[in-house]
Amino acid sequence: MPLNWSVKNVKDADDVCYFTATKNSVVHGLTRGEEYTHPITNTLVFATMAVGLNEITEANIDEWESRLGLAYEVGWISKMVVYGGDDENGNHKWEPRMLTRTDLERHIGLETNASEESATAWRKRVWQEVEARGKKELKYADKENPALDAITHKESIALRDAIRAGKTTKEREKLPENQPAD
């Protein structure tokens, strides 16, 4: 199903949700004089799917902000790239930027046909993602750590045995010149 969206209820939508290119840019697909959806608006439209909210209202703006924070943390949305002024040669600079509460407030009225999720269901989905990633990390650690532990443990046992056999002392091993290089 395609993602449909509307900004007809956004106050000052023409100024907030769109921009007119001031320069041609093949890299960014811009033609001077053409009107485009503003990157903030575009990012919010697609974020509706990640955060499980299909509209921005005064009533749900706190929930939006909470869900955005979690969505950034689990990697469901990433920083967008926005216009950051011009460099000394007159070329546009594009910089990474996160969505903010101010962006949400300016986009009150934005609507999409994304699925709506209750706060409980959405947070459960986030928790399942965090848990799945944690288990994946543990499986990787279980696979990689024994080989690394064996090296460290082997060195530890050799040093212990040398100290116990009187070949060296704890005091001598504490000296800076006896410390292994990292």
Residue-wise pLDDT for 58-115, tens only, equals: 999 999 999 999 999 898 988 776 666 777 887 777 778 889 999 999 999 999 999 9
Listed by start position, the domains of the chain span 5-116, 118-174
Minimal CA–CA distance to 54: which of 130, 132, 1?
1
The H-or-E segment that residue 82 falls in is strand 80-86
pLDDT score, position 139: 85
pLDDT score, position 106: 97
Residue range 103-158, pLDDT digits in tens: 999 999 999 999 999 999 999 999 999 999 999 988 887 777 766 666 677 788 88
Enter the DSSP assignment of 30. Answer: B
